[in-house]
């Protein structure tokens, strides 16, 4: 929470959700950036500043789960919190199995999001304080 270099990135095709999530996460005191699609995020080269990715599951083009797979394949260990308006058990299982920190269904509880973000930031901090010494 003290490291301002780490930015929470929001990728959602729904503008209302982007605006609301940005406002909420900002109110926690975290810097926030938003992207309307997975492709926008990938081409932004903001991956290294990403402390946490708040990702929508259903999106035109590359969807949330596909972006997750892509990042894993590319070797980026970015903490991901999924938010979805569509509760699909298969999607949830796939996301969590691949390492997602949360799978929140809209309308989600504020506390759940905050908790998940904190977990993500702590994990990032640990990773940063002792790079290469995960044990």
Question: Does residue 59 touch other proteins according to CB under 8 A?
Answer: yes
- 107 is a site residue for other proteins (CB under 8 A): yes
Q: Is 19 in the site for other proteins (CB under 8 A)?
A: yes
What are the residues whose beta carbons fall under 8 Å from the beta carbon of 60, sequence distance 6 or more? Answer: 13, 37
Beta-carbon contacts of 31 under 8 Å, excluding residues fewer than 6 positions away, are 4, 6, 7, 8
- 70 contacts other proteins (rule: CB under 8 A): no
Interface with other proteins includes 20 (CB under 8 A)? Answer: yes
Written as one string, the DSSP assignment of 41-81 is HHTTT-GGGEEEEEEES--SSS-HHHHHHHHHHTT----EE
Minimum Å distance from CB 93 to other proteins?
17
Site of interaction with other proteins (CB under 8 A): 14, 16-17, 19-21, 23-24, 26-28, 58-60, 83, 85-86, 105-108, 110, 113
């Amino acid at each position: 929470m003290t490291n301002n270099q780490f930015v929470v990135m929001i990728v959602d095709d729904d503008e209302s959700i982007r605006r609301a999530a940005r406002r909420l996460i900002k109110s926690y005191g975290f810097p926030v950036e938003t992207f309307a699609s997975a492709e926008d995020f990938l081409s932004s080269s903001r991956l290294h500043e990403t402390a946490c990715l708040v990702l929508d599951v259903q999106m035109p083009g590359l969807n949330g789960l596909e972006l997750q797979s892509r990042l894993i394949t590319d070797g980026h260990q970015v903490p991901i919190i999924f938010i979805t308006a569509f509760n699909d058990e298969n999607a949830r299982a796939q996301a969590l199995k691949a390492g997602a920190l949360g799978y929140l269904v809209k309308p989600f509880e504020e506390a759940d999001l905050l908790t998940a973000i904190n977990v993500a930031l702590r994990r990032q901090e640990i990773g940063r304080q002792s790079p290469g010494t995960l044990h």
